[in-house]
Every structure is written in structure tokens, then in C-alpha cells.
A and B are shown apart, each in its own frame.
Chain A
Amino acid sequence: AQSVAQPEDQVNVAEGNPLTVKCTYSVSGNPYLFWYVQYPNRGLQFLLKYITGDNLVKGSYGFEAEFNKSQTSFHLKKPSALVSDSALYFCAVRDRTNAGKSTFGDGTTLTVKP
């Protein structure tokens, strides 16, 4: 069975400061890892994904994520937060050997204060 944990329900940062939203995963094989963002009253939007290769993945809106195989983590980062980054963030995993199943974390609410 595969699983995703987002240990923080809420992350608060000041505008201009760096942000990190944490994600750890468990999967039997080699994972594909994703970050999605949900703005109020909207569906989820894709931010970035890790497939293979470079452990640092760059995505939309200046976000990046670092894949760490030994720690089974895929933390989302941004060097300088914007108020408009405030949203609900989901980490997700898919297993190459069971492509239909998709497992999401519980979500982390990011609030960026001016």
C-alpha cells in the first residue's frame, strides 16, 4: 500500500520569507511524486512533479521541490513567499507498477501574511 503524510496542517510565513511545506511518502516501488495547489472554491492545479533524475524539481510560480530518497521526502519550497501563494497544498504519489492508484496527503494550508 502507498501513503503520503503531510505533517503540518498549517504553515504560516511572512511575505518575502522562504517557505517549506513538508511531505513524506511510502510506496513499494519507485515513486512518481506530485504537488498540487487548491485556491478557494477551485479545483486542484498542478505545480510540479518528480519523475527521475535531478533531485531538485522546478515548477510553476517559482516553486521547487527536493526529492530525498533516503528520507522518503518531497518537500515543497519557495525562496520568497507571496501573499498570493496562500492556498491549500497537496502532495501526491503514484506507483509506477500500479499506475491507476493515486494517493494524496491530507493537505497543508499555507498562509502568507503581508
Chain B
Amino acid sequence: EAQVTQNPRYLITVTGKKLTVTCSQNMNHEYMSWYRQDPGLGLRQIYYSMNVEVTDKGDVPEGYKVSRKEKRNFPLILESPSPNQTSLYFCASSPTTIALDTQYFGPGTRLTVL
């Protein structure tokens, strides 16, 4: 089944403890992106990747890192999480890097930082 998977789906952690949220797609998509969803703020783009080893900042990149070493994987790294990073995170991918492409979203990761 064609899909975007995220792990873990739920995570409770403490301030300062490094964590990684994985994202993987099995559709050979070129483009991948991370978003966070907060009540009243909609989805805000954190980072995106147009290809392997090509990443760029979205609107809210502070406190996050990403890497794209393989086409299928796009992990989101929080080196020192803080409570203001408590949020619902979504990974998305699209077949190409042209703007008209539809994005396919993962199921989300709910992160709580205490």
C-alpha cells in the first residue's frame, strides 16, 4: 500500500532529551516536508526537501533539524526539545518538486515535551 509512515505516533518526553521522529514513504516521491499543527495556528511548515541531500527551511525551523540521506526517509530531529515544541507533527510527500503536486500526509505524531 502506498503510504507515508511516521514513528512514533505518540511520544512524551522531557525537556532537553534529544529525539527523532522518523518519516518514510514508499512511493518514490521526490519532495518531502514536515509540518506542525497547533490549535488556531493551522499547519506551519518546518523544513522541506526537494531531493536527497537537499533541504531548506520552512516558516518555523528553529529548534529542529532534518536530513535526507535516502529518498524514502526524512527524519525530524529535536536536539534539545522544549515545552513549546509540544505539538502534532505531520510528514508529507509529493511525487515531484513542482508546486502543483498534491501532498500525501502521514498519520501524525503527537509530541508532548514536559
Contact = CB atoms under 8 A, between A and B. Distances in A.
Interface of A: 6, 9, 32, 34, 36, 42-46, 49, 51, 90, 92, 94-96, 98-107
B44 A100 contact: no
Interface of B: 4, 31, 33, 35, 40-45, 48, 50, 56, 58-59, 90, 92, 97-100, 102-108
A32 B99 contact: yes
Contact of A34 (B44, B56, B102): B102
A43 B106 contact: yes
Contact of B40 (A36, A100, A106): A106
A102 B36 CA distance: 12
Contact of A106 (B35, B42, B90, B98): B42
B107 A107 contact: no
